[in-house]
Chain A
Amino acid sequence: MNRVVAVLTAGTLAILPLAGTAAAQQQVHQQQPAQPKVLRVALTTGIDHLNPFTASLAASTQVGRFIYEFLTIPSADKAEASPALAESWTTSPDKLTWTFKIRQNAKWTDGQPVTAKDAAFTFNRMLTDETARTANGNYVANFQTVSAPDDSTLVIKTKAVQSSMDLLDVPIVPEHVWAPIKDLNDPKTDDLSVVGVSDGPYQLTEYKQNEYLKFKANKGYWRGAPKVDELQLLIFKDVESAVNALKQGEVDVINRLTPTQFDALQGQPNIATNKAPGRRYNEINLNFGVENNENKPIGNGNPVLKDLRLRKAIAQAIDPKTIVDKVMGGYGQLPGGVIPPIYTAYHWDPTAAEATKFDIAAANTALDQAGYAKGQDGIRVAPGGARLELRLTGHANRPFDQRTAQYVSGWLHDIGISVKQELVSDEELNDRTNAGNYDLAISGYATNPDPDYALALHTCAGRPNAEGKGATTDTFFCDPQYDALYAKQLTETDPATRAGYVKQAQARLYSQAVNVVLDYDNSLEAYRSDKFSSFEKQPQPDGSILEQTGYWGVYGAVPAGSEAVAADSGGSNTVLWIVIGVVVVIVLVGGGVLIGRRGKSADDRE
């Protein structure tokens, strides 16, 4: 044991000189007149790649937004297409040729000018290289040719009319850096030598995988340098730890809070909270007899749900207001179609006549009339003789699903339907829903500023193939009327007319009761008000800071003043020294005592 103590003592003594050096460095650091203004963001989701061609996870695409500029980006005020690299754009009369005018005052961080040739290179690489299509391939699937007749003109010809052309969510990369790279799967494409050359508001300067990312303000950014000198994304695997870090001033901004965490942070000193409309909808899918993309029935859904009258009665027996108030703690918005109200132009709410209002009595009456008689035990029996027993599946680890399942079971019981809750792991749920093995499933999706994605999730083409794989569907919906409306909005370039089709498509989906939208989640965020006075939100004035489709939040961050930042870093360091001091004293004293005792007992040796 004494040896252990001796080793510990030696180890501590060995560290002391290092401590001195670090303290000296810190001292020098603090004496500098201007502390850099640092924005520290807690990142609670993973990063797969920095390479913008292959980066798929949400946090990775967000990094791409901070460092790269796009042709156009969703505006801060309304999240609608606004100029970025492209100052303006025009379409040909047949709407097949798009001409973008590229601004001439943008520069890559290595000093080279950003030109239309960079944009043409980016899109052409995606057209010719499979790997380059990994992340954003769907945007170029319909492209015929892309060319840059001169440095300020980009011309894209499409095979068919494509309405998403004014919001291509594709970061533009520098040709002189990326052209020599032959294999885009090469891990080197995640290195600073490659992704460190960019033209967005921030430039990546350090990437410690699984730990943090560090950026510096791009002084040459064409919109002007951000007010924050340094941006740090700190990776937290546990949201609760991240909340604690915010309270203790270790991070400045955090998002993806649960209602409970959000409530707990309200009223805390130096912390401001931000509740914003979110991009996500929650829903319950009804297995109406789903089929794969070859129109072959799949899965083991209860056939009774093929009856639209039964589905409508179920929809009528589900109360979104209770879900928002009780499950979401009030932090959600009441539903309409599958596009949340954050996208005002495309959001659809049913009229009073169309709406399925929560009404248990009316649902019971409707089922009585449809011939679903109640049995002795209060459970209804379908006209064919089958008892109305449905399975409800959802995520076992998500509090939303657990509580929603309780409420829904209760309501459905009230209309004579027995519900068996089957909450399972995320992976198992994915497998079950992909294979159609469910009756009722709690689901949900995040949507984009362009409505195409949210609508495509319900098209015939979105359904999986015979192996349960292939495209991405949400509801398995396949309806000629819906698909026709979907196709019309896809090829309509007049914004108002397109929005009309988008709303009609949502109305059609709603009328078939293949899903019941429960709510749109609010995006719940919090930040250190002692460090930052404001952020640019999207949309304005009540939008979110981090959960944006753009860089506005971190670009428009306004520091509250440099004193607070400087005082804090000094403070935590002092405490560190006290702690190290205490540890050293304990080890020295403990070691001394033990060594002394060893000396005393020397006489006793055999």
Chain B
Amino acid sequence: MSQAFTSGQASALADPDERRGGTGTLRFVLTKVAEAAASIVLVIVLGFFLFRLLPGDPVAFMARDRPTDPAQIAELRQQLGIDKPVLAQFGNYFVGLFRGDFGTSYIERRPVLDMIGERLWPTVLLVGSATVLAIALGLWLGIRAAWKRDSFFDRAQTGIALTLWSVPQFWLGLLLLVVTNGVFPSRGMHSPDAGPGFFAQGLDVLHHLVLPCVTLLAVFYAQYMLVMRSSLLGEMNADYLTTARAKGLREDMVRRHHAVPNALLPTVTLVFMQFGMVVSGAVTVEAVFSWPGLGQLTYDALHGPDLPVLQGVFVVLASAVVLMNMLAELLYRVLDPRVRTA
């Protein structure tokens, strides 16, 4: 994680204007933004050509098990634009991107951007809520475990977290489905029987959200817990804690107001990186619960293969990660003065 900051630090150090304040920060920000923009362009180019290496023929997929004559197949190729040379296809694609046109899905024949838009919200709702809960639960348990290091609580919590972390998500999901025995719906985000109106619909979505969210939460929280635990352990013997205790502060206060804020720094990057991944969804959990998110869209698109959809999803996901990474670097500079002045 720490390598991510070295380039930023190096450029700040090499800048003689740094001590004068503003200019250095602006330059740092601009550099980071430029780096992010360059990464995204690279992603677009790589994405296009990488997906062209995938095996499979979308037209063969569409024609399978269905009477089709060669004329129909040739027409399909022409309609999809895959009868043109790859470079020409790339040109059209690249120019289109600047107009917000991510192309048209081979299978559904709809604008890719519309399809991604429809799937983004369910994924952000599912993975986002699971991530927020996982951060809360993970940090809380991590702090408790570190503070009571080597206690039964610590060992039990670390054990449980590591176990859940290594359990396959789809298996956990299926297990929850069987164990809850129909209390929660097993598929989708909406029920056709939900009443009309915003309230009934909202409740219906929440009802559907429970199982997939709990599944993801169970798997996600471990990393926050473990990072928080080890980071807090690193702070535990610091002198400033002794000072705080010497002032007569209760142990609770020492932990909450002195140790934890310092130990939180390493988790900031983790949290931002994870938020970048929020849109990528959780393919297996989305599949088990038929959750109509981006992960499932990607999975379905791989089977075609539906290249425009794959490219679109790839660009959106990679951009989200790049942007969140950039934000993490910028924010770290704000949060930790050592990065600015060291």
Contact = CB atoms under 8 A, between A and B. Distances in A.
Nearest to B302: A427
A56 B62 contact: yes
Given A56-B66, A579-B183, A212 B188 contact: yes
B252 A604 contact: yes
Given A212-B190, A235-B187, A471 B290 contact: no
B65 A446 contact: yes
A25 B290 contact: no
Interface residues of A, number: 79
A105 interface: no
A1 B108 CA distance: 45
B109 A211 contact: no
B187 A19 contact: no
A1 B73 contact: no
A161 B5 CA distance: 75
B291 to A, nearest CB: 8
Interface string B131-142: 000001001100
Contact of B195 (A26, A137, A234, A606): A26
A598 B303 CA distance: 54
B178 A244 contact: yes
A209 interface: yes
A131 B104 CA distance: 15
A130 B139 CA distance: 59
Interface string A1-29: 10010000000000101110110011001
B250 interface: yes
A234 B108 contact: no
Interface string B71-111: 11111110100000000000000000000000000011111
B249 A604 contact: yes
Contact of B203 (A18, A244, A456): A18
B222 to A, nearest CB: 18
B199 A17 contact: yes
Given A137-B71, A241-B186, A472 B64 contact: yes
A210 interface: yes
Contacts of B139: 1
B292 to A, nearest CB: 4
A601 B109 contact: no
A63 to B, nearest CB: 14
A414 interface: no
A139 B66 CA distance: 12
A469 B77 contact: yes
A130 B56 contact: no
Contact of B55 (A56, A430, A456, A576): A430
Contacts of A434: 57, 60
B79 A131 contact: yes
Contacts of A362: none
Contacts of B289: 241
Nearest to B71: A141
B174 A240 contact: yes
B108 A212 contact: no
A182 B287 CA distance: 37
A445 B118 CA distance: 34
A48 B202 CA distance: 27
Interface of B: 54-57, 59-77, 79, 107-111, 114, 118-119, 136, 139-140, 170, 174, 177-178, 181-190, 192-193, 195, 197, 199-200, 202-204, 206-207, 210, 247, 249-250, 252-253, 257, 286-290, 292, 296, 299-300, 303, 305
29 contacts: A15-B202, A17-B199, A18-B202, A22-B204, A25-B195, A48-B109, A49-B109, A134-B76, A137-B68, A141-B69, A187-B111, A208-B190, A211-B292, A234-B187, A237-B296, A241-B174, A241-B187, A241-B290, A244-B178, A250-B182, A426-B303, A427-B56, A448-B67, A472-B60, A472-B64, A576-B183, A604-B252, A604-B253, A606-B249
